[in-house]
Amino acid sequence: MTLAVDETPSLQIDGEPVDDVAAWYARRLGLWDPILPDEPTPEQWDAFYDRYRSWHAAETEKAITIGSILEILAEASTVVNPPRSVYDHLRKSYQLARMEDAGVPVPAFQVTTDPEDAIAFAEQHDRVVYKPRGGRRHVLEVTPEVVRERREAFDTEPVFLQRLVDGDHHRVFVIDDTIAAGRFRFDPDERVDYRAAETEVEPVELADDVEELCRTAREASQMTYTGLDLILDEEGDPWFLECNPSPMFAVFEDETGYPISDRLADHLIAAGRA
Question: The CATH number of 167-273 is which of 3.10.110.10, 3.40.50.720, 3.40.50.300, 3.30.470.20?
Answer: 3.30.470.20
Residue 41: its pLDDT value, please? 80
Report pLDDT digits (tens) over 145-188: 988 888 888 788 888 999 999 999 999 999 988 899 999 876 55
Residue 97: its pLDDT value, please? 95
Q: What angle do CA 129, 132, 138 make, to 5 degrees?
A: 70
Residue 235: its pLDDT value, please? 94
Residue 154: its pLDDT value, please? 79
3-state secondary structure of 30: coil
Residue ranges, the chain, pLDDT below 70: 29-38, 134-137, 186-199
Residue 7: its pLDDT value, please? 77
Which residues on adjacent β-strands are paired with residue 79?
A: 24
- Measure the CA dihedral 119/123/126/128, to 10°: -10
Rounded CA gap, 173 and 81, in Å? 14
- Measure the CA dihedral 57/60/64/70, to 10°: 130
Residue 261: its pLDDT value, please? 93
Residue 217: its pLDDT value, please? 97
In the chain, at which residue ranges do the beta strands (DSSP E only) sit? 2-6, 8-13, 16-17, 23-25, 78-80, 109-112, 128-130, 140-142, 159-163, 167-175, 178-185, 200-204, 225-233, 238-244
Could you state, in order of their start, the residue ranges of all structural domains in the chain? 2-20+39-77, 108-163, 167-273
The pTM of the whole model exceeds 0.95: no
Q: What angle do CA 30, 32, 35 make, to 5 degrees?
A: 155
Residue 104: its pLDDT value, please? 98
Residue type, 201: V
Residue 270: its pLDDT value, please? 92
User: Judging by DSSP bridges, how do beta strands 167-175 and 140-142 pair with one another?
Assistant: unpaired
CATH classification code of 108-163: 3.30.1490.20
Residue 187: its pLDDT value, please? 58
Please tell me if the domain spanning 108-163 has the same topology as the one spanning 167-273.
no
